[in-house]
């Protein structure tokens, strides 16, 4: 039986008196940040309905009926969410999505494509993969379905630093690298000078691997898969950069493409295939160095200098008949240019 003490006291349990403890009131969670949203859709009723269902306390929304106006606004203002009709006047919504994604600020933008055609989910998924959208919506759609797709798209682009899943400096570095992934050359990606020595490359890559190797963040794969995918994408590009730059022939080829055409990655194209063929003809590093010089001079239109560089390559490999044929073709082309000039 409970014993009551004098009025104003706390009941006792056995010999222990419970004390009143001041419990601070729970603080309300801060409101989510207001996001800038852009809706582009030619059908006025659909456009107004989509904008109306984006909560005004969470989104500041601009609407457009054509692709050109939408893209102009996107280029001039910060946008967090883009909702595009697949069929837009002036440009397909899919193409507009691709242009937005490829822009400097595009990696941080959530893009949702919508169309009655997306009742075929394979078409919707295919468009997302091909044009860089984060989600698709089949029209007509209920408001809760719209918001579910919006949240899915936003979650893929949410900055890691906002999620409190990783130490802030690491999260900010992941956001920076992922955001600029398509705009950084291998040296800038690794944070090294273009003349960095192999041992310096190795030390830097090792240090980055300790922080960014996906295996160090496996817990995020289930808890926050979009964060893990960002880490994985960054690490794959870092690994690609390291493998190219520690391999002398591939590094020379990469440097040539970077200087000549501003190519940020070592990818095969008809010109690089020719470079590979000519470099493969060389048996010595000295000859290879002059062949690279010849290739670069040809890309700049200096056929005379290119011929001289190829001749120097032949001085190191005088019996290399195939290099001799390349030199002959350069000289023939030079004579044609001089004759016609």
Residues 61 and 133 in one domain: yes
Task: Output the pTM of the full model.
Answer: 0.56
Neighbour order of strands in the sheet with 110-115: 59-64, 35-40, 81-85, 110-115, 135-138
Residue 125 is part of a domain; what is its CATH number?
A: 3.40.50.2300
Tell me the CATH number at 208: 1.10.287
CB 227, CB 220: distance < 8 Å? yes
Q: CA 301 to CA 327: how far, in whole Å? A: 15
Q: Annotate 127-154 with DSSP letters as a single string.
A: HHHHHT-SEEEESS--HHHHHHHHHHHH
**Residues 231, 270 within the same domain:** no
Verify that 131 and 185 share a domain, yes or no.
no
Q: Is the peptide bond before 140 cis (omega within 30 degrees of 0)?
A: yes
* pLDDT in the model for residue 200: 95
Claim to verify: residue 229 and residue 267 sit in the same structural domain: no
The contacts of residue 152 (CB under 8 Å, 6+ apart) are 134, 135
130 and 153 both lie in a single domain = yes
Q: Could you give the number of structural domains in the chain? A: 3
Q: What is the pLDDT of residue 285?
A: 84
Q: What pLDDT, on the 0 to 100 scale, is given for residue 302?
A: 82
List all residues 6 or more positions away from 190 whose beta carbon is below 8 Å from its beta carbon: 196, 201, 204, 205, 208, 238, 241, 242, 245
List residues bridging with 13 in a β-sheet.
16
Is 175 found in the same domain as 280?
no
3-state secondary structure of 82: strand
102-128 exposure pattern, b = at least 16 Cβ within 10 A, e = fewer: eeeebbebbbbbbbeebeeeeebeebb
Q: How far apart are CA 260 and CA 270, in angstroms?
A: 14
Q: Are strands 81-85 and 16-17 parallel, antiparallel or unpaired?
A: unpaired
Do 173 and 142 lie in one domain? The reply is: no
Same-domain check for residues 218 and 285 = no
pLDDT tens for each residue of the chain, 341 residues long: 444 444 444 334 344 444 555 555 545 545 566 889 999 999 999 999 999 999 999 999 999 999 999 999 998 887 999 999 999 988 899 999 999 988 877 878 999 999 999 999 999 999 998 898 999 999 999 999 999 999 988 888 888 888 888 999 999 999 999 888 888 999 999 999 999 999 999 999 999 999 999 999 989 888 888 889 899 999 999 999 999 999 888 888 888 888 877 888 886 554 556 677 888 888 888 888 888 888 878 877 788 888 999 999 999 999 998 889 989 988 888 888 777 65
38 within 8 A of 51, measured Cβ to Cβ: no
Residue 2 included in any domain: no
Helix, coil or strand: residue 31: coil
Of the residues 211, 246, 281, which one is the last residue of a structural domain? 246
Q: Do 136 and 172 fall within a single domain?
A: no
Whether 167 is covered by a domain: the verdict is: yes
Q: Do 275 and 303 belong to one domain?
A: yes
Q: What share of the chain is helix, strand, coil (3-state, %, to 5)?
A: 60, 10, 30
Q: For position 20, what pLDDT does the model report? A: 55
Q: Are residues 211 and 282 in the same domain?
A: no
CA 217 to CA 213: how far, in whole Å?
Answer: 7
Domain residues for the domain of 315 are 263-340
List Cβ<8 Å contacts ≥24 apart for 54-62.
54/150, 57/31, 58/32, 58/34, 59/34, 59/35, 60/34, 60/35, 60/36, 61/37, 62/36, 62/37, 62/38
Same structural domain for residues 178 and 216? yes
């Amino acid at each position: 039986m409970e014993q009551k003490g004098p009025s104003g006291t706390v009941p006792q349990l056995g010999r222990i008196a419970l004390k009143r403890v001041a419990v601070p009131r729970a603080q309300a969670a801060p409101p989510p940040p207001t996001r800038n949203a852009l809706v582009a859709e030619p059908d006025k009723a659909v456009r107004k309905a989509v904008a109306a269902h984006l909560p005004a306390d969470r989104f500041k929304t601009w609407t457009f009926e054509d692709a050109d106006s939408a893209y102009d606004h996107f280029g001039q203002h910060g946008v967090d969410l883009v909702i595009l009709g697949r069929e837009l006047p002036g440009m397909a919504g899919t193409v507009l999505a691709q242009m937005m994604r490829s822009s400097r600020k595009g990696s941080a933008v959530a893009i949702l494509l919508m169309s009655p055609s997306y009742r075929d989910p394979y078409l919707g998924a295919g468009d997302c993969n091909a044009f860089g959208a984060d989600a698709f919506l089949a029209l007509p759609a209920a408001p809760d379905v719209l918001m579910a797709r919006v949240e899915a798209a936003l979650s893929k682009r949410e900055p890691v630093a906002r999620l409190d899943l990783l130490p802030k400096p690491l999260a900010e570095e992941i956001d920076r690298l992922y955001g600029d992934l398509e705009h950084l050359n291998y040296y800038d990606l690794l944070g090294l000078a273009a003349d960095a020595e192999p041992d310096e490359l190795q030390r830097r890559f090792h240090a980055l691997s300790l922080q960014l190797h996906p295996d160090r963040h496996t817990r995020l794969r289930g808890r926050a898969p979009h964060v893990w995918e960002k880490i994985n994408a960054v690490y794959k590009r870092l690994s690609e950069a390291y493998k190219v730059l520690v391999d002398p022939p591939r590094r020379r080829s990469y440097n040539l493409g970077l200087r000549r055409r501003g190519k940020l990655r070592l990818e095969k194209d008809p010109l690089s295939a020719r470079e590979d063929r000519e470099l493969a003809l060389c048996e010595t590093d000295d000859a290879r160095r002059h062949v690279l010089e010849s290739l670069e001079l040809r890309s700049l239109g200096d056929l005379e200098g290119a011929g001289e560089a190829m001749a120097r390559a032949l001085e190191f490999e005088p019996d290399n008949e195939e290099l001799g044929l390349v030199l002959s073709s350069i000289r023939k082309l030079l004579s044609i240019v001089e004759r016609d000039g």
